[in-house]
Copies of this chain bind each other. A is one copy, B any other.
Amino acid sequence: MTKPSAKDLSHHLSVEAKSRKNSPLKGAFKYYNKPGITFLGGGLPLSDYFPFDKISADCPSAPFANGIGAQITKDDKTVVEVYKDAAKNDPANHDVNLAKSLQYGFTEGHTELMDFVKKHTDTIHKIPYEDWTAIASIGNTQSWDACLRTFVTRGDAILVEEFSFSSALETAHAQGVTTYPVQMDGEGVIPEALSEVLDNWVGPKPKLFYTICTGQNPTGSCVSEERRRAIYQLAQKHDFIIVEDEPYYFLQMETYTRDEKERQGKHVHSHEEFVKALVPSYLSMDVDGRVLRLDSVSKTIAPGSRFGWIVGQEKLLERFVRLHEVSIQCPSGFAQSTLNGLFQRWGQAGYLDWLIGLRAEYTHKRDVAIDSLYAHFPLEVCTVLPPVAGMFFIVQIDASKHPKFKELGEDPLKVEDAIYNRGLEFGCLMIPGSWFKVDGQTTPPQPQIPVDETHKHTIFFRGTYAAVPLDDLQRGLEKFGQAVKAEFGL
């Protein structure tokens, strides 16, 4: 069965993206390495002068029988060795030799590594249209900056989740783009709310919707397949692009249960089970080519790698390549040679093993965190929403139950502030939800969408189980629970 081609969405390009030209110099590069032509066109230093003969890395070996955090042993390790000289590398490894990775060029990312990434992408998302590709980025923060530069122009408005990653919002705001919040509940953005917003939109419709749909930052929510399909249909109806920023996609977990025994039976065992257990991405339902997926190794391998990739239709990604040529050029060759070296030696199956190991670790961390919340937080004022993905959990608190609620002018934010400070006093820091709240000012202003009255006194705090050892996590949550109790006189 042949797949459909992507729709032409070039009308969504920004003034900046539309105006990018190909350099005439690029035209000359067709003569580079052409037999019979001495090419004196480009200012590339000779690789003879790169002071690196070989780089190497000591890594764990798949399938990580003792867990992904286990100590590497002499007998069980994968050594990545990449030489400058192509001839010294074993062709079976598909390495990116240093003469290539440390040279200029390959804005799209090195072929070997990008082929690995594309194969992985295809395994997970089974993209339903033909002409998709993936290009390298410096990680999702940079990818998102590139999306804004490619699609929006100062004065435009975009759609975002009601609570969102402050840094992503700041990227947009500094570019003069206003962010319009779409109402969320415990399962992320509500399609009906999004539909209402768009039906009542004043002025040119927003070009894109930015969403962290799996293990959302800050709410920890995960949008269900059903909601994703409904939202994708809205994207088709109202012709907008979906940017899915998905660093936490592979930190999906088993659903939380307080039953220790039940937990044992819940792990995924095979690659097939693992892939099947993942919530379908917007990319996987993208028949039009209107989804840009931002992926990276920041949460699966290491954030400081500064390596990520953008998946989308070829015609739109070509504009990103033009942008990257005149800004970041490409991710570091040290990162590309090393990561590619690791991926090639692990293979597709080994990387899935690693991700399965990650799933087990995060499921356990999440369980410890949620157990602690149930044990130490006053459930008469707190609601625990066990996440099924990501690094974050939230505790919702009914501010109206605060003994001084009236004195505080019935302002939930004052209660939030008091709890934050009380937490610090007791020795634990969690982030107030209001810090992530998106203000909805756009030009022109949009009609007021009715507010959910039942939740107007609900505040929340965001915590993470990712960054601290488990005993610290338990101790910290106990302290924060005591702080909440003290604040509410419980």
Contact = CB atoms under 8 A, between A and B. Distances in A.
Interface string A433-476: 00100000000000000000000000000011111110011011
A102 to B, nearest CB: 4
A344 interface: no
Interface string A91-102: 000000010111
B59 A53 contact: yes
A104 B304 contact: yes
Nearest to A70: B48
Contact of A173 (B21, B57, B473): B21
A384 to B, nearest CB: 15
Given A332-B306, A431-B41, A167 B479 contact: no
Contacts of A299: 45
A326 B170 contact: yes
A186 interface: no
Nearest to A342: B51
A103 interface: yes
B52 A57 contact: yes
A142 B329 contact: yes
A174 B323 CA distance: 9
Interface in A325-369: 325-336, 338, 342, 354, 358, 361
A58 to B, nearest CB: 4
Given A55-B55, A142-B328, A329-B306, A40 B464 contact: yes
A297 to B, nearest CB: 10
A306 B327 contact: no
A39 interface: yes
B301 A50 contact: yes
Interface stretch (A22-30, A264-272, A283-291): A22-30
Contacts of A361: 49
A327 B480 CA distance: 33
A195 interface: no
A24 B463 CA distance: 15
Nearest to A18: B174
B332 A305 contact: yes
Interface stretch (A233-241, A309-317, A401-409, A421-429): A421-429
A28 B429 contact: yes
Main secondary structure of the interface of A (DSSP, over half): mixed
A25 B77 CA distance: 39
Contacts of A466: 43-46
A21 to B, nearest CB: 6
A430 B338 contact: no
User: Which residue among A28, A303, A428 has the maximum number of chain B CB atoms within 10 Å of its CB?
Assistant: A303
Contacts of A303: 44-45, 102-104
A38 B334 CA distance: 35
Nearest to A72: B53
A76 to B, nearest CB: 12
A332 B305 CA distance: 5
Contact of A334 (B49, B327, B332, B464): B332
Nearest to A137: B328
Contacts of A429: 28, 31, 37-41
Nearest to A60: B51
Contacts of A473: 38, 40
A122 interface: no
A68 interface: yes
Contact of A338 (B19, B302, B334): B334
A49 B36 contact: no
A57 B54 contact: yes
A174 B19 contact: yes
B435 A24 contact: yes
Nearest to A172: B326
12 contacts: A31-B429, A42-B464, A51-B342, A52-B59, A56-B57, A138-B329, A138-B332, A141-B325, A154-B154, A305-B332, A328-B328, A332-B335
